[in-house]
């Protein structure tokens, strides 16, 4: 247990005498039932078997911020980083601000924010490695960086930017509620360090002494219905009607008198001018996701077509059943998918820990996507292998692999779509994500099939017979994608939140690239229709298919890049330098990043540490492995 | 609930495994927080924490203090003396003996050729008081130059001068405890949350227990101004006009404390006739505060049972700095608000030991608030040090800001800088560069070898910093607090005390004098010289200071002998009628005529340039610029500019822009904010080759402190943002 020094000041001690039963989200503040087996267990902090004597140990705790009082002095951030030994570029707690009014009637509201240890921890549910746990003790949501493999998905789903992805260590870390201090009755380090008497901590819904309210929101704080966060605010001073952000995010907050709260609105910080912005668009750190999603979708589409051709007797597709056509096609599909998976895996902070992606099958769509795509990859290989031989057994095995591959691939695709339905990322949280993914699966699958197989078919009639249904599929896929884009544009344009901000960037900063995409996609669709009607043969067919391919691939690459670059999460407002994406980008471009005290690091890729992987394989006993697998499958929610 | 897994995972948290805490006093600002430095079993320093039982900070630390332990192995520290014949040549490493022999020879040589005063010494507010005292002894008693000053001229000289003019002596009369008693607090050009966050917290604690109105005078909407009950957005450089108008209302409406004035002051008539000219209606045209508000503020302040004023650089760094301090004192004397709980004029000092240098360094006189102009003082010190009293000059020599122009004129040929960085800190960098080029011999003694002034030095001496040595600091509320040694200095660095002593040995005159090696022995000399004086510390000892977590002076040997414990806090000066430091015991009410001599915006240079401090940085960033968890909040210089002005100039938020004054230009990143008015920009002063390329720094006639906060500039957008970024980047070695 932590040593409490003899002169520890009174303000450092927790103060909750009485507690409420239910919080403002309607959840019980008592985290476990009276007879729960979870009572009186040690938290095992650094191997210490001690059990804290905090009387409110099993009640949900949370931070309290009196935003009227925060002076933005950074003491909370510093105390946190000192305690947790964080380097400059990592902070579990950050202070940003919103400002409003006109000199001298100017007002700045500082917001100090860490993890809100939510009732519904989306980080925990999203994490594929099961690095997160919500504890019965204090309701703390703790993350174990040793388990984390650095995919950063928790940083996508959290609306408050609480989990911190460290590109240097290749892992996420976050606020740990200072549970070691809570165990001995002390408030978290940040709270004890507060110099504005702004930050406090206790059992949630308890209002500290001298404070009068415990609101769930203040301007700049994202909507609470996503995660039911355990933070409460006081903000009684009159605010200006409009509060703006100093960071680059094109968002501001407008007071809505009818409900008395602030609502996000687009702040057109960079005007209305349209740009191409190719370099930023096509070289973003997320390009690995662009390559992975597009290649997986194309390969899956092609696979579905080939497997269907083998299983169902469709005359037009029968050309695909010949080994001379099928095997080269499968070979190319395998290479393409391998490349996509490689790009994705090497995008991880710890690529050699890829196998941990299955840990959270029970909760995480990402885990399920990984499982689905891995299954698909495996069955694709099996299908390819069995297809080499032509006898009944192998044909059966090939067909079985085909069915299983198609199933797991479709499951993978569905969860690939579900991954992006993140409430904290309104630009993605729309059915268009699905129409694009499924549409691309169909259109690129057919395109891939056609591009590879058609030149291998010598029979003109068979070629025409195959080209026609493939072109139907391409047109269908593109049509579906187009309808999605139209609906998405309408939806985003009429929003007022971060989705609208993304829409603003889409039509300005990336406006010309977006228009280019629209033209290319329209042309692709038109070309597909034209080819469908004219059904050209010979060299003309060859030229037409490659023209269509160029159009579709360009449109697809731009489209998917826009999807990743444009998303604006519902994060907390940053400051002018710290937690300002534009300054971080500038630091990387200008070389300021080379001074580590600037607090920005380059976007690095993790190293595949084979020795660490081998060490794990060597030291993991079969029983440990069995228990681990059992834990993935058999899982209970304990109260 | 247990959500996420079936069985609990053990929790891993950072454990620094600190086995030993060393008591110390923070070495950044003058608040004087007690801090403990944590060491692990391997002896490595890994943490710091505020001392819970210390009255000043009660367990708290600010963002700088929390990471102060990272100083010890921060980049850029010097570890060997280095020397060269001429600037422009490469330095070579040398031995301490060789370095100090050369230094002593050069000093003698320059003094022989050009006179004793042709070698100047500029020190700091960063050393320990024992070191200041020793440097004073070396300078006044051995080297004998009268051109000796501290860089406190850049920050606190106006407060010193103002205190002396009003009360007859330096020494802030109040205490942090006054926040607990006051009924109104007026902050003049002081932004506590940014500059002195721990004092802000003490104030906030007091205010939450018992609300009192806070009035803030500041042209910027700082966090303190925003939190004020009344914010007076004064026109830069016109505080004296506002003060005179406030006094006009007080006297006009008979709100003054007649009994107090009669028992404690002289000069009421002259003051009355001067302030009569400053009716609120005319004054408002100059100072920008409307007449009703002036009357309102005057009434609130005068009618309060206890009212206090604090101030910092907003007052001090102005051509009317000393007058501004006197003005605050005048108001407090008129309303009977000196020497009583909650009633005071409390200057909030800058550096950790600005007070120590004022008290004991002999910069502006002789130790223990003694004056060169006073024959008895010269006699007493000469006797105590065993030097000829005639060796002492009979009046104070040049201040730092006059030493540099004297170098420019060729009157001063050699300079020794101790823990100060004029290349970044003095106004008009271009002029300072030219000035430094003219020196025959420049010694820079500093903890950091990359302090920018080293570019112009001939000899660099690596010094220990902060808790690499032992001794005391005095804080803003006159609290003497101790720094204990927590670790060794890097390489061959020596403590400043050891350097002074070693240099003294190289002069014949020191042979008959005493230069103790141990800080505690030096402290004994100071105690003995403090007996019976305003700053009596004779009841203290290093150990007692640590035990009490700092002791406010005066604390006398008599009190200690009587067994009277030092107060925990709340010790005040001038608590009895007629006990001010002038011979007659009366404080002076000094009339303050106003002459507007500032560089004000005009057509060519249409913006006020205001400068100031950021909470995460200290002075010229030689320390905080290397500590990531400080530096990251402002790693490059920026400029607050009003968005309406930016729009007219075609400047976007976060663009690099060029600021031009009559002295030079600077490149900064624009931060558009309504915190500043449309005709003003604000640039923090911490950055090398930045705002001081622009500042004019007219000098206050009394204190010789530069007016950093009142210059005029023009602003230009930069078309080539990439080139600007590169230029800005090249100017940041850290």
What CATH number is given to the structural domain containing B710? 2.40.40.20
Q: Can you give the CATH number for the domain in which B48 is found?
A: 3.30.200.210
Contacts of B4 in chain A (CB under 8 A): 124, 130, 132-134, 363
Q: Is A271 exposed, middle or buried (0-12, 13-18, 19+ CB in 10 A)?
A: exposed
What pLDDT shows up at residue B126?
96
The per-residue pLDDT for range B263-301, each reduced to its tens digit, is 999 999 999 999 999 999 999 999 999 999 999 999 999
In terms of domains, do B419 and B557 share one? yes
Collect all residues of chain B within an 8 Å Cβ-Cβ radius of residue A582: 654
Q: Which domain holds residue B62?
A: 18-71
Q: Using the beta-carbon criterion (under 8 Å), do A599 and B632 form an inter-chain contact?
A: yes
A577/B632 Cβ within 8 A:
yes
Segment A576-607, tens digit of pLDDT: 999 999 999 999 999 999 999 999 999 888 89
Q: Are residues B632 and A578, on separate chains, in Cβ contact within 8 Å?
A: yes
- State the smallest CA–CA distance between residue B47 and chain A in angstroms: 7
Alpha-carbon distance of B687 to B731, in angstroms, equals 9
Q: List chain A residues with CB under 8 Å of B12.
A: 45-46, 144, 146
Nearest neighbour of B9 by CB, restricted to A5, A144, A193? A144
In terms of domains, do B165 and B64 share one?
Answer: no
Structure ipTM over 0.90, yes or no? yes
- Chain A residue numbers with beta carbons less than 8 Å from the beta carbon of B199 are none
> B205, A197: Cβ pair inside 8 Å?
yes
Other Cβ atoms less than 10 A from the Cβ of B315: the count is 29
Given B71, B97, B112, which residue is the final one in a domain? B71
Query: Are residues B165 and B86 located together in one domain of the fold?
Result: no
Q: How close, in Å, is residue B232 to chain A by CA atoms?
A: 9
**Is B568 a member of any domain?**
no
- The first and second tokens of residue A130, run together, are 């099961």
Query: Do A97 and A246 contact (CB within 8 A), yes or no?
Result: yes
CATH for B202 = 3.40.228.10
- Give chain B positions within 8 Å (CB) of A590: 722, 725-726, 729
Q: Which residue, B347, B372, B402, sits at the end of a domain?
A: B347
Q: How many residues does chain A have?
A: 639
B195 and B250 both lie in a single domain: yes
Residue B249 in any domain: the answer is yes
User: Does residue B581 lie within any of the structural domains?
Assistant: no
Contacts of A124 in chain B (CB under 8 A): 3-4
Nearest to A577 among B63, B225, B635 (CB): B635
> A77 to chain B: which residues are within 8 Å by CB?
63, 629
Chain B residues within an 8 Å CB radius of A196: 193, 200-201, 204
- Residue B597 in any domain: the answer is no
Query: B2 lies in a domain?
Result: no
> In terms of domains, do B526 and B640 share one?
no
pLDDT of residue A461: 86
Tens of pLDDT, residue by residue over A179-210, are: 999 999 999 999 999 999 999 999 999 999 99
Q: What is the pLDDT of residue A256?
A: 87
Question: Per-residue confidence at A37, pLDDT binned at 50, 70, 90?
Answer: confident
Task: Clarify whether residues B427 and B549 are in a common domain.
Answer: yes
Into how many domains does chain B fold? 4
* A230 near B CB under 8 A: no
Assigned token pair, B536: 């009596």
Assigned domain for B586 exists: no
Picking from B63, B627, B636, the nearest residue to A74 by CB comes out as: B63
Q: Residues of B with CB below 8 A from A635's CB?
A: 5-6
Interface contact flag, A106 B6, Cβ < 8 Å = no
Is there a contact between B654 and A71 if contact means CB atoms under 8 Å apart?
no
Query: Domain check: are B406 and B465 in the same one?
Result: yes
Residue among A43, A82, A590 minimizing CB distance to B66: A82
Size of interface A-B (CB pairs under 8 A): 240
Of A243-257, B303-317, B652-666, the range with the lowest mean pLDDT is: A243-257
Q: State the pLDDT confidence band at A638, using cuts at 50, 70 and 90.
A: low
Subunit contact A210:B52, Cβ cutoff 8 A: no
pLDDT at A261: 81
Q: A539: buried, middle or exposed (CB in 10 Å: 19+, 13-18, 0-12)?
A: exposed
pLDDT in tens, B57-70: 999 999 999 999 99
Mean pLDDT, chain A, rounded, equals 94
Q: Is residue B6 part of a domain?
A: no
A561/chain B closest Cα distance in angstroms: 26
Q: In the prediction, which pLDDT does B604 show?
A: 97
Domain's final residue, options B503, B530, B561: B561
At A280-326, the pLDDT tens digits run: 999 888 899 999 999 999 999 999 999 999 898 888 888 899 889 99
Tell me, yes or no, if A633 comes closer than 8 A to chain B by beta carbon: no
- Is residue B129 located within the same domain as residue B195? no
Closest residue in chain A to residue B203, using alpha carbons only: A196
Does residue A620 have a pLDDT over 60? Answer: yes
Beta-carbon-side half-sphere exposure of residue B153 (alpha carbons within 13 Å): 30
Q: Are residues B30 and B102 in the same domain?
A: no
Residue whose C-alpha is closest to residue B425's, from B26, B146, B726, B152: B152
pLDDT tens profile B539-563: 999 999 999 999 999 999 999 999 9
**Looking at residue B1, what is its pLDDT?**
57
Question: In the prediction, which pLDDT does A258 show?
Answer: 81
Task: Report how far residue B330's alpha carbon sits from residue B324's, in angstroms, rounded to the nearest whole number.
Answer: 10
Give the distance between the most distant pair of CA atoms in chain B. 87
Do B525 and B672 fall within a single domain?
A: no
pLDDT of residue A450: 94
Planar angle of CA B120, B161, B466, nearest 5 degrees: 60
B674 inside domain: yes
**Mean pLDDT along residues A417-436:** 97
Query: Could you report the per-residue pLDDT of A65-121, keeping only the tens digit for each?
Result: 999 999 999 999 999 999 999 999 999 999 999 999 999 999 999 999 999 999 999
Query: Does B677 contact A104 at a Cβ distance shorter than 8 Å?
Result: yes
Report the CATH number that the domain containing residue B525 is assigned in CATH.
Answer: 3.40.50.740
Question: Given a cut of 90, is residue A634 above it in pLDDT?
Answer: no
Q: Does A544 score more than 80 pLDDT?
A: yes
Q: Is residue A479's pLDDT more than 60?
A: yes
Residues of B with Cβ-Cβ distance to A193 under 8 angstroms: 60-61, 66
| Mean pLDDT score of chain B | 97
A110 three-class SS: strand
A97 touching chain B per CB within 8 A: no
Chain A nearest CA to B167, separation (Å): 33
Q: Do A631 and B4 touch (CB under 8 A)?
A: no
Q: Which residue of B has its CA nearest to A41?
A: B8
Specify whether B272 is located in the same domain as B386.
no
Which pLDDT score, from 0 to 100, does residue A457 have?
Answer: 87
Where would I find the H helices in A390-537? 392-419, 432-453, 460-493, 498-507, 511-534
pLDDT, tens digit, for every residue of B370-420?
A: 999 999 999 999 999 999 999 999 999 999 999 999 999 999 999 999 999
Contact list, A599 vs chain B (CB under 8 Å): 628-629, 631-633, 635
Q: How many CB atoms lie within 10 A of CB A240?
A: 19
Phi, psi of B75 (to 5 degrees): -70, 155
Report pLDDT digits (tens) over B568-621.
Answer: 999 999 999 999 999 999 999 999 999 999 999 999 999 999 999 999 999 999
Considering the domain architecture, whether residues B637 and B720 belong to the same structural domain is answered as: yes
Q: What gap in Å lies between CA A239 and CA A99, rounded to an integer?
A: 9
Q: How deeply is A364 buried, as exposed, middle or buried, from its count of CB atoms within 10 A (0-12, 13-18, 19+)?
A: buried
DSSP notation for B608-640: EEEEE--TT--TTSTTGGG-HHHHTTSSS-EEE
For B642, nearest residue in chain A (alpha carbons):
A103
Domains of chain A plus CATH, in order, are 10-240 (3.30.70.20), 278-566 (1.20.1630.10)
pLDDT tens for A435-453 read 999 999 999 999 999 999 9
pLDDT in tens, A323-340: 899 999 999 999 999 999
């Amino acid at each position: 247990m932590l040593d409490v020094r003899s002169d520890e000041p009174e303000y450092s001690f927790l103060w909750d005498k009485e507690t409420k039963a239910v919080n403002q989200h309607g959840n019980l503040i008592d985290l476990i039932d009276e007879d729960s087996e979870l009572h009186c267990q040690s938290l095992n902090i650094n191997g210490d078997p001690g059990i804290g004597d905090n009387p409110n140990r099993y009640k949900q705790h949370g931070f309290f911020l009196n935003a009227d009082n925060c002076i933005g002095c950074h003491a909370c951030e510093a105390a946190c980083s000192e305690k947790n030994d964080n380097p400059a570029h990592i902070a579990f707690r950050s202070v940003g601000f919103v400002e409003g009014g006109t000199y001298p009637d100017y007002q700045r509201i500082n917001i100090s924010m860490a993890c809100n240890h939510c009732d519904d921890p989306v980080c925990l549910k999203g994490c594929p490695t099961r690095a997160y746990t919500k504890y019965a003790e204090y309701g703390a949501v703790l993350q174990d960086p040793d388990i984390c493999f650095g995919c950063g998905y928790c940083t996508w789903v959290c609306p408050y930017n609480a989990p911190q992805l460290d590109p240097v260590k290749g892992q996420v870390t976050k606020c740990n509620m200072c549970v070691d201090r809570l165990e001995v009755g002390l408030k978290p380090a940040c709270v004890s360090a507060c110099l504005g008497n702004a930050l406090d901590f206790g059992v949630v819904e308890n209002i500290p002494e001298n404070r009068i309210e415990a609101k769930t929101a203040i301007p700049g704080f994202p909507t609470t219905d996503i995660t039911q966060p355990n933070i409460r605010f006081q903000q009684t001073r009159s605010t200006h009607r409009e509060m703006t952000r100093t960071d680059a995010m094109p968002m501001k907050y407008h007071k809505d008198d009818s409900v008395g709260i602030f609502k996000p609105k687009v702040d057109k910080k960079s005007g209305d001018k349209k740009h191409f912005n190719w370099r930023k668009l096509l070289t973003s750190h997320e390009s690995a996701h662009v390559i992975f999603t597009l290649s997986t979708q194309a390969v899956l589409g092609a696979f579905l077509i080939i497997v269907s051709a083998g299983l169902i007797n469709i005359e037009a597709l029968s050309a695909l059943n010949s080994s001379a056509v099928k095997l080269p096609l499968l070979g190319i599909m395998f290479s393409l998918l391998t490349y996509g998976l490689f790009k994705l895996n090497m995008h991880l902070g710890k690529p050699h820990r890829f196998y941990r992606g299955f840990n959270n099958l029970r909760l995480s769509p990402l885990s399920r996507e990984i499982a689905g795509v891995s299954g698909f990859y495996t069955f694709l290989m099996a299908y390819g292998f069995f297809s080499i031989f032509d006898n009944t057994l192998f044909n059966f095995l090939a067909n079985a692999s085909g069915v299983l591959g198609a199933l797991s691939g479709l499951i993978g695709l569905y969860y690939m779509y579900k991954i992006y339905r993140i409430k904290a990322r309104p630009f993605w949280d729309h059915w268009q994500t699905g129409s694009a993914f499924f549409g691309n699966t169909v259109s690129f699958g057919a395109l891939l099939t056609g591009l590879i197989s058609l030149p291998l078919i010598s029979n003109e009639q068979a070629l025409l017979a195959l080209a026609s249904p493939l072109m139907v599929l391409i047109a269908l896929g593109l049509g579906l994608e187009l309808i999605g884009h139209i609906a998405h544009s309408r939806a985003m344009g009429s929003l007022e939140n971060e989705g609208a901000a993304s829409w603003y960037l889409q039509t300005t900063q990336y406006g010309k690239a977006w228009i280019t995409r629209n033209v290319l996609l329209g042309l692709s669709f038109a070309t597909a229709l034209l080819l469908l009607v004219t059904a050209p043969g010979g060299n003309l067919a060859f030229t037409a298919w490659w023209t269509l391919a160029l159009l579709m691939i360009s449109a697809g690459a731009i489209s998917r890049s826009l999807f990743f670059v444009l998303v604006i999460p519902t994060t907390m407002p940053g400051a002018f330098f710290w937690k300002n994406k534009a300054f971080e980008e500038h630091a990387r471009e200008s070389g300021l990043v080379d001074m580590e005290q600037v607090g920005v690091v380059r976007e690095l890729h993790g190293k595949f540490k084979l020795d660490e992987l081998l060490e794990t394989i060597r030291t993991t006993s079969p029983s440990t492995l069995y228990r681990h697998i059992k834990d993935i499958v058999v899982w209970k929610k304990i109260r | 609930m247990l959500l996420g897994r079936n069985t609990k995972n053990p929790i891993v948290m950072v454990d620094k495994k600190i086995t030993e805490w060393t008591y110390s006093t923070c070495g950044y600002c003058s608040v004087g927080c007690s801090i403990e430095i944590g060491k692990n079993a391997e002896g490595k320093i890994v943490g710091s924490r505020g001392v819970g039982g210390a009255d000043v900070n009660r367990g708290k630390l600010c963002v700088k203090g929390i990471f102060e332990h990272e100083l010890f192995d921060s980049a850029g520290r010097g570890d060997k003396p280095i020397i060269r014949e001429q600037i422009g040549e490469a330095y070579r490493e040398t031995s301490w003996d060789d370095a100090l022999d050369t230094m002593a020879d050069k000093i003698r040589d320059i003094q022989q050729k050009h006179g004793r005063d042709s070698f100047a010494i500029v020190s700091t507010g960063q050393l320990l008081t024992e070191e200041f005292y020793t440097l004073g002894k070396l300078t006044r008693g051995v080297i004998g130059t009268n051109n000796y000053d501290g860089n406190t001229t850049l920050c606190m000289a106006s407060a010193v001068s103002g205190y002396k003019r009003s009360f007859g002596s330096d020494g802030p009369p109040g205490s942090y405890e006054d926040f607990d008693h006051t009924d109104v607090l007026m902050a003049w050009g002081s932004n506590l949350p940014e500059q002195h966050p721990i004092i802000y917290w003490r104030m906030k604690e007091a205010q939450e227990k018992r609300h009192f109105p806070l009035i803030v005078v500041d042209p910027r909407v700082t966090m303190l101004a925003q939190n004020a009950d009344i914010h007076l957005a004064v026109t830069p450089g016109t505080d004296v006009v506002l003060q005179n108008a406030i006094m006009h209302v007080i006297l006009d409406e008979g709100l003054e404390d007649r009994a107090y004035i009669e028992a404690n002051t002289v000069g009421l008539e002259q003051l009355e006739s001067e302030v009569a000219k400053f009716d609120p209606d005319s004054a408002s045209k100059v100072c920008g505060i409307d007449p009703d508000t002036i009357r309102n503020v005057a009434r609130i302040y005068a009618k309060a049972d206890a009212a206090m004023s604090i101030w910092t650089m907003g007052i001090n760094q102005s051509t009317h700095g000393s007058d501004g301090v006197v003005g605050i004192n005048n108001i407090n004397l008129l309303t009977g608000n000196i020497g009583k709980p909650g009633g005071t004029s409390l200057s909030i000092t800058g550096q950790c030991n600005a007070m120590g240098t004022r008290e004991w360094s002999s910069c502006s006189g002789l130790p223990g608030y003694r004056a060169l102009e006073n024959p008895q003082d010269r006699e007493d010190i000469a006797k105590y040090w065993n030097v000829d009293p005639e060796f002492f000059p009979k009046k104070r020599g040049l201040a730092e800001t006059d030493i540099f122009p004297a170098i420019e004129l060729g009157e001063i040929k050699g300079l020794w800088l101790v823990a100060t960085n004029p290349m970044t800190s003095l106004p008009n960098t271009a002029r300072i560069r030219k000035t430094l080029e003219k020196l025959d011999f420049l010694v820079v003694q500093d903890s950091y070898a990359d302090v920018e002034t080293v570019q112009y030095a001939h000899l660099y001496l690596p010094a220990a910093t902060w808790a690499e040595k032992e001794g005391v600091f005095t804080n803003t509320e006159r609290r003497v607090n101790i720094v204990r040694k927590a670790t060794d200095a890097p390489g061959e660095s020596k403590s400043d005390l050891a350097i002074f002593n070693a240099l003294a040995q190289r002069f014949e005159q020191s042979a008959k004098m005493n230069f103790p090696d141990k800080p505690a022995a030096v402290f004994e000399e100071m105690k003995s010289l403090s007996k019976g004086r305003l700053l009596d510390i004779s009841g203290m000892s290093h150990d007692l200071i640590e035990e009490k977590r700092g002791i406010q002076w005066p604390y006398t040997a008599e009190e200690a002998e009587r067994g009277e414990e030092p107060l925990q806090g709340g010790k005040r000066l001038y608590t009895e009628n007629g006990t001010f430091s002038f011979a007659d015991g009366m404080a002076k009410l000094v009339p303050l005529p106003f002459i507007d001599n500032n560089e004000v915006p005009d057509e060519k240079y249409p913006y006020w340039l205001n400068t100031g401090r950021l909470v995460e940085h200290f002075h010229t960033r030689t320390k905080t610029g290397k500590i990531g968890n400080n530096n990251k909040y402002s790693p490059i210089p920026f400029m607050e500019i009003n968005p309406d002005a930016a729009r007219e100039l075609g400047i976007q938020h976060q663009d690099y822009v060029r600021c031009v004054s009559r002295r030079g230009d600077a490149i900064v990143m624009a931060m558009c904010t309504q915190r500043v008015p449309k005709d003003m920009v604000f640039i923090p002063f911490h950055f090398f080759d930045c705002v001081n390329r622009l500042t004019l720094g007219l000098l206050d006639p009394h204190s010789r402190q530069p007016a950093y906060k009142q210059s005029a500039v023009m602003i230009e957008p930069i078309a080539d943002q990439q080139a600007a970024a590169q230029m800005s980047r090249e100017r940041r070695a850290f």
